Amino acid sequence: MLKRNTTCSPSMSVVFQESMKLLCGHAPPAGARPELDAAAPYRLARITDVPAITRIHNESIADRVATFETELRTEAEVAAALAERGERYPTVVAEHGGQVIACAGAGTYRPRACYAGVAEFSVYVARASRGRGAGQVVLAGLIEECARRGFWTLVSRIFPENMASRALCRRLGFREVGIYRRHGQLDGAWRDCVIVERILRGADDDHPGR
């Protein structure tokens, strides 16, 4: 489990601190939750992380819990996606014991210019490391990096049954906008999707009621 006090150190940016404040003071669930590497709660992904990111992503494809994708990704595809996202769309990772165990990435929401500040995100934790706070670390890190780049909204879609993902988003200040019914088919079965969003800036000015 991440060290709450350490993670909320004053050296981190306001946005990251705000995200982590949502976590601080929250008692971790019962059971063993080994700490993540506290000195580096998250970092931007590097090309050398591609094998780990591919492995983590493919576990979630195989688990059928998180994505409509059914074909496992190759390292070449993941490397190409990382390169295409470039500096504009960040991907962050968290390590434990020198191994990348979680990743979160932002990508294009819509190509039209009016949506330039909206990014769609995904977050994946290695199967063996789920439920230990790694998802919180990388998603809070992604929020930080997106805010720094001037994005104003993060959105995603979650299968309604994915309680871990919905809890993670709720914990980090996302709101559930609504549900897309019969949004797509996975293995021949229609699946709904919960839409989530987090406004990164300007929300209080534009929508005081939020």
Q: Should residue 142 be labelled a site residue for ligand COA when binding is judged by CB under 6 A?
A: no
Q: Should residue 7 be labelled a site residue for ligand COA when binding is judged by CB under 6 A?
A: no
Residues 61-90 touching ligand COA, rule: CB under 6 A, are 65-66
Q: Which long-range contacts (CB under 8 A, 24 or more apart) does 69-78 make?
A: 70/186, 70/187, 75/50, 75/51, 78/50, 78/53, 78/54
C-alpha R_g of the chain: 17
Number of residues that bind ligand COA (CB under 6 A): 25
Which of 3, 85, 162, 183 lies at the binding interface for ligand COA (CB under 6 A)? 162
Q: Are strands 118-125 and 153-158 parallel, antiparallel or unpaired?
A: parallel
Which of 92, 93, 96, 132 lies at the binding interface for ligand COA (CB under 6 A)? 132
Task: Name, in order, each residue with C-beta under 8 angstroms of 101's C-beta and a sequence gap of 6 or more.
Answer: 36, 56, 94, 95, 125, 126, 128, 129, 134
Which of 8, 100, 103, 134 lies at the binding interface for ligand COA (CB under 6 A)? 134
Q: In terms of Cα–Cα distance, which of 156, 160, 168, 98 is closest to 130?
A: 168
Residues 98-127 touching ligand COA, rule: CB under 6 A, are 122-125
Q: Closest approach of Cβ 126 to ligand COA, in Å?
A: 8
Binding site for ligand COA (CB under 6 A): 26, 29, 60, 65-66, 122-125, 130-136, 156, 158, 162-165, 167-168, 171
